[in-house]
Amino acid sequence: MNNIEKFRKIKAFVFDVDGVLCNQHIFVFENGQIMRQLHQKDLTALRIAKEQGYEVAIISGGNLGHISPIFKDMGITNIFHLSRDKKEDYIEFINLYELEDEEVLYMGDDLPDYQVMRRVGMPTCPKTAVPEVKEIALYVSPFNGGEGCVRDVIEKVLRIKRKWLATDGPPKKHKNQNQ
């Protein structure tokens, strides 16, 4: 089965945070507070995916307390942070929604993502992923982590299914105002 067919089967998205939704830079303030940077186009794509009825999960080994409200405001309630076993959290997510592995796209960038990526139907990664992850990814985004790679894969799935824009389909012909 080619990758287009694998993209077509997707019903749910799962994303890592550091190195995927955020770039690989984490700013730590003197008080120990952590700051991450999110890409607006990735957030727009996540919102569109939710609006189109896709389930979305965020699984991270980091503490996401400061950015969880952003995801929750988009309707993403499956947020697993401080994850010690991403595969276990992934299984909890797919069981909750009665999903099959081949219906899930996962995007990760580093070794903690490896076991989940070996299991899902569509393992993907940003171009900044480690070599071991790139080796098992069926699709490597041309975008860096935190710089549009999430938008890239969501848009691919939704365009294949003609769900990217509410008006997906042939463009409407508009009358030329000068006529």
Model pLDDT, residue 113: 96
Cα 133 to Cα 140: distance, rounded to the nearest angstrom? 9
Tell me the pTM: 0.86
Q: Which residues contact 11 (CB under 8 A, 6 or more apart)?
A: 54, 55, 99, 103, 104
User: What domains does the chain contain, in order, with CATH numbers?
Assistant: 3-160 (3.40.50.1000)
Model pLDDT, residue 5: 86
Cα 43 to Cα 29: distance, rounded to the nearest angstrom? 25
Here the contacts of 28-33 (C-beta below 8 Å, separation 24 or greater) are 33/66
Mean pLDDT per 10-residue interval, the chain, length 179 residues: 84 94 70 69 94 95 82 92 95 98 97 97 97 97 94 96 72 52
